[in-house]
Amino acid sequence: MNTTRRFEHPGLGESFREELLGDRLRVVLYEKPGFRRTFALLIARFGGGDMMLPDGTPIPEGMAHFFEHRLFTKLDGDISTRFSALGLSVNAATGLVRTAFHFTGSEHLAAGIELLLELVLVPHFPAEGVEMERQIIRREIAEHEASATTHLYRNLHHGLYHAHPVRREVLGSESTLGDITPTLLYRCHEAFYCPENLVLFLYGGAEEEVALRALERYLEQEAPPQPGRYIPPPDVEEPPGVVRSRIEQRHRVVRPHVAMGFKIRPGATRGRAFLEESILTQVCLDVTFGTGTRWYEEQYASGLIDDSFDAACNSDHGYAYVSVTGETGDPEGFEEAICERSQAVLEGGVEEDALRRVQRRMVGNFLRYFNTPEDALGLFANYHLQEANPLECVELARMLDAERIAARLQELLRLDRRCTSILRPRNSEDPGW
Amino acid sequence: MDGPGGAGVEHAGACSDFEHFRLGYPAQEYNLYVHPTDRFKTTTLRLYLHTALCEEEAARTALVPALLRRGCRRYPSLRAMTRALDDLYGAQLDADVLKIGERQLVFLSLDLAGDRYVGGEDLLPQGLGFLQCLLREPLGDDGSFPDELVAQEAAHLVHAVASLADDKLHYAIERCFRLMCDGEPFGVYEYGTVEALRAVTGPGLRLHLDQLLEASPADLFVVGDVDPHVTARLVASQLTLPRGEIRHLPPIEAQPTRRAVQRVVESLPGDAALQGELILGYRSRIRMRDPLAPALLLLDDLMGGGPSSRLFRLLREEQQLMYSISSFLVKSKGLWMVVASVADDAREVVEATVTRELERIAAGQLEDEELDTARRQVLSQLRTVDDAPGRKISFLLGRLINDRVATPLQVEAELQDVTRSQVIRAAGSLQLDTVYFLAPETPGEVEA
């Protein structure tokens, strides 16, 4: 009753397989013989961007994150103690669309997997614990608010998006934390945490077959018998234009921080089209703003940009924008330089051999992922969740041509849909360092 | 002699799980360590030049890799460098300084695609040639880096050093090191000071590079699918350093604790955060080279290593005083640091709890179970060493600097052998030296 799909790249000597266990749980196994540690990553499709339960009950901001914290407490105390006793370190992180639970270790993998399933499938939310958690999360919010990045991106998202949940605070706020109750926690568990809503990734060298058998046993004997189903969040109506073209804030920063965003139409979301589009996007940003361009060298030499400069495409369920970020002494000059460069590329194209160079570079960059298990697992999980096979990266990059780059650049560099978020120093005093 | 064949190669046997060679032996010596493995898909080269960390030289040394990154005579611009790396199938170049114990190291790292994945090309000689150009044919002439480039890189580093204050936790840790180890080499920041960075000139920096190449102890590491002996001959002919008399670097000292605990509270201008960063700095005088070092590793994990550690349980889970609390060791120097983001009114509880728990452990209040957990956790972290080339290199480098060469498996065995009474002694050795609090200037104000 298990369905298996295999993925291979003989030239690389890499392969992995996906199993649908008991017709309920997707497991992606990536065996790395000879490696000493194994990484397990369990993804749940529930995040800070989820705004309502299937019956329409609103979900307060910060719910998925609060929920992730509370899952660690079981009847006999903090479940991470049981991971630690096995030599496994466990942690979790909540994003906009998903929550990730992961552990790493070099032994007791099967026992660890069972614990991981217990962690997400067995809820225990007594009222006292919920009160305590509010206090800890208040402290976490205070830490989060102290970071300049938090404010820079919050402002950018508020400038770019009218309604999309990317505007929501994953950690919530003082007022929304108060709306979280044990009852609501249980209802979220019921709605989102069932085997059908999870994907488990295993990457590494240890006892994966044993782990698989342990999983099957757990699913048969201990998982909730009723199959659940994933309720996709309703798509929010988001106009194509931005809210504001500029948002500034005073903050405790030494030099101004700038984040420019170009709001673009969310593109392909799955399969080879998704992989191809994300490679094409990387190539476009590299040939426009990368260190191999004359433009970069000139801006770097003039001191307008430095190593903090970066251009990337941020996207997830239902939103996408290009971000160009950095610290600079001259935010207006920075903004102007980015706009001029974008205009120049849109009109005059990129350097002639740019594509060939980037294609060659992608070979090494791709191979490098396999040097660090964390990076490799991140890459695989990222693409696999969108039903794309990252082993095809290099081959797909080879198929790109100048026309497609030119077309994609028109989609990416939307100067008419931009917002610039700037944090300026509160005062110009030297911090005394 | 620089030319091919002019440099000798001496195989010095195994060192940890690397093969050790002395190159240019005996006159122009530097070390090569090769770990042959087909587990990774790239070949990683890392060259380290060791210097003694000191106030006078830190800025100048930090600027050397910054200038090397900008280019060389063959690839005289960032663009030309990027293109050369692209031609090597996206080789990754990294050049920077790093502080280990009381040493400041300049490193140059080049990561090359494995030959079998790029149609059987022979990239190692090309990669070595690239490093040779960078080191031996730097930009500029007449014994000087171009003043303009030095000024640009100095300005970038000045910004980077000043912007450390944007990351309050990192800034607080560096400030605490500075105050705690004032007058000791360890108290020096590895990127120097703003004033010293601004004072560096083109000729002065070029002279400094020449001196580093001539006199600094140098180690080159290679991890990848290579033959050690073939690699050694290749490196000896392709990467020639103009070695002179090699400087001897002093061993790292573990100073005693000051008599009274130093307490410092500071604020950053304009900081209106809700809470501050508390750093407790302890001295143990147990350095990596000392027999109790493995016991100190277990103690660190047991106190502040993760969600099952004592501090996490007592301060976060039981009292909800903070979100983040952890501890870490400066292994080469025997320092133990506790780090927490807390409100002003929780500082005393944190300090009192750390003091009390250390006293309890020193008095023998230590469960076998928590010791076993700590041991498993530390062993598991140690096992990450074998799974990434950069970690393999860093592991051996750290052991070499501390004069305590071992394989990861030998260190595992040492950790297995740590006894309860050794952990108790390690706890007893810790003495509070400095308490640093980076307080908000106007606390309690919620930012808009």
B389 touches chain A (CB under 8 A): yes
Distant-in-sequence, close-in-space partners of A428: CB < 8 Å, separation ≥ 6: none
What pLDDT shows up at residue A353?
84
Among B321, B376, B379, B407, pick the best mutation site for testing chain A contact (most A Cβ within 10 A).
B376
Report chain B residues whose CB lies below 8 A from the CB of A12.
41, 117
Residue of B79, B168, B387 lying closest to A35 (CB–CB): B387
> Mapping DSSP to helix (H, G, I), strand (E, B) and coil, where does residue B66 land?
helix
B166 and A253 in contact by Cβ < 8 A? yes
**Least CA distance to B276: which residue of chain A?**
A143
Residue of B83, B92, B320 lying closest to A135 (CB–CB): B320
B224 touches chain A (CB under 8 A): no
- Chain centroid, CA A266 distance in Å: 16
Per cent of chain A over pLDDT 70 is 96
**Least CA distance to B373: which residue of chain A?**
A85
What pLDDT shows up at residue A354?
84
Tens of pLDDT along B395-447? 999 999 999 999 999 999 999 999 999 999 999 999 999 999 999 987 654 44
> Do the beta carbons of residue B144 and residue B206 sit within 8 Å?
yes
A224 touches chain B (CB under 8 A): no
B112 touches chain A (CB under 8 A): yes
**Least CA distance to A301: which residue of chain B?**
B152
A104 touches chain B (CB under 8 A): yes
- Label the pairing between strands B325-330 and B335-342: antiparallel
Say what the ipTM of the complex is. Answer: 0.93
Residue of B113, B320, B321 lying closest to A367 (CB–CB): B113
A 52-81 residues with CB below 8 A of B?
A: 72, 78, 80-81
What pLDDT shows up at residue B269?
87
Per cent of chain B over pLDDT 70 is 96
User: Is the pLDDT at B448 greater than 50, yes or no?
Assistant: no
* Cα–Cα dist A226/A215, whole Å: 17
Beta bridge partners of A247: A421
Distant-in-sequence, close-in-space partners of B356: CB < 8 Å, separation ≥ 6: none
Cis before B26? omega within 30: yes
User: Buried (b) or exposed (e) across B97-123, using 16+ Cβ within 10 A?
Assistant: bebbbbbbbbbbbbbbbbbebbeeeeb
B316 and A136 in contact by Cβ < 8 A? yes
> Which parts of B273-427 are beta strand (E)?
276-283, 325-330, 335-342
Report chain B residues whose CB lies below 8 A from the CB of A11.
117
Tens of pLDDT along B95-151? 999 999 999 999 999 999 999 999 889 999 999 999 999 999 999 988 999 999 999
A23 min Cα distance to partner chain B (Å): 34
**Beta-carbon contacts below 8 Å between A and B:** 211
Confidence label for B4 from pLDDT (cuts 50, 70 and 90): very low
Residue of B44, B113, B166 lying closest to A254 (CB–CB): B166
Tens of pLDDT along B68-87? 999 999 999 999 999 999 99
A 311-370 residues with CB below 8 A of B?
A: 327, 329, 357-358, 360-365, 367-368, 370
Residue of A81, A292, A365 lying closest to B83 (CB–CB): A292
Among A74, A145, A158, A254, pick the best mutation site for testing chain B contact (most B Cβ within 10 A).
A254
B 418-447 residues with CB below 8 A of A?
A: 446-447
B166 touches chain A (CB under 8 A): yes
Report chain B residues whose CB lies below 8 A from the CB of A251.
447
- Chain centroid, CA A380 distance in Å: 12
* Cα–Cα dist B51/B60, whole Å: 12
B24 min Cα distance to partner chain A (Å): 31
> Do the beta carbons of residue A146 and residue A73 sit within 8 Å?
no
pTM listed for this prediction? 0.94
User: For residue B170, how many other CB atoms are within 10 A of its CB?
Assistant: 12
Tens of pLDDT along B136-165? 999 998 899 999 999 999 999 999 999 999
Closest to B293 (Cα-Cα) out of B243, B251, B252, B334: B334
Tens of pLDDT along A289-325? 999 999 999 999 999 999 999 999 999 888 999 999 9
B388 touches chain A (CB under 8 A): yes
B443 min Cα distance to partner chain A (Å): 11
* Cα–Cα dist A102/A37, whole Å: 13
Among B175, B264, B323, pick the best mutation site for testing chain A contact (most A Cβ within 10 A).
B323
B151 min Cα distance to partner chain A (Å): 10
**Least CA distance to B178: which residue of chain A?**
A433
What pLDDT shows up at residue A431?
43
What pLDDT shows up at residue B1?
35
* Cα–Cα dist A409/A362, whole Å: 19
Among A365, A368, A379, A395, pick the best mutation site for testing chain B contact (most B Cβ within 10 A).
A368
DSSP state letters, B305-340: SSTTSHHIIIIIITT---S-EEEEEETTTTEEEEEE
Q: How far is CA B287 from CA A153, A424, B281, B423, in A?
A: 43, 43, 15, 15
B 323-362 residues with CB below 8 A of A?
A: 323-324, 341-343
B86 and A363 in contact by Cβ < 8 A? no
Among B115, B159, B188, B314, pick the best mutation site for testing chain A contact (most A Cβ within 10 A).
B159
How many angstroms separate the first and last alpha carbons of chain A? Answer: 64
Name which of B22-26, B71-75, B219-223, B302-306 the model is least confident about. B22-26
B170 touches chain A (CB under 8 A): no
Residue of B156, B308, B390 lying closest to A306 (CB–CB): B156
Q: How far is CA B253 from CA A406, B101, B181, B246, B260, in A?
A: 60, 9, 11, 21, 20
Closest to B392 (Cα-Cα) out of B234, B222, B235, B229: B222
* Cα–Cα dist B27/B5, whole Å: 14
B312 min Cα distance to partner chain A (Å): 11
> Do the beta carbons of residue B273 and residue B442 sit within 8 Å?
no
Tens of pLDDT along B225-284? 999 999 999 999 999 988 888 999 988 878 777 779 999 999 998 888 889 999 999 999
Tens of pLDDT along B314-342? 999 999 999 999 999 999 999 999 999 99
What pLDDT shows up at residue A1?
56
Taking 70 as the pLDDT cut, the residues of chain A under it are 1, 206, 227-234, 427-433
Closest to A54 (Cα-Cα) out of A195, A236, A231, A228: A231
Residue of B77, B86, B269 lying closest to A431 (CB–CB): B269
**Least CA distance to A77: which residue of chain B?**
B317
> Do the beta carbons of residue B45 and residue B66 sit within 8 Å?
no
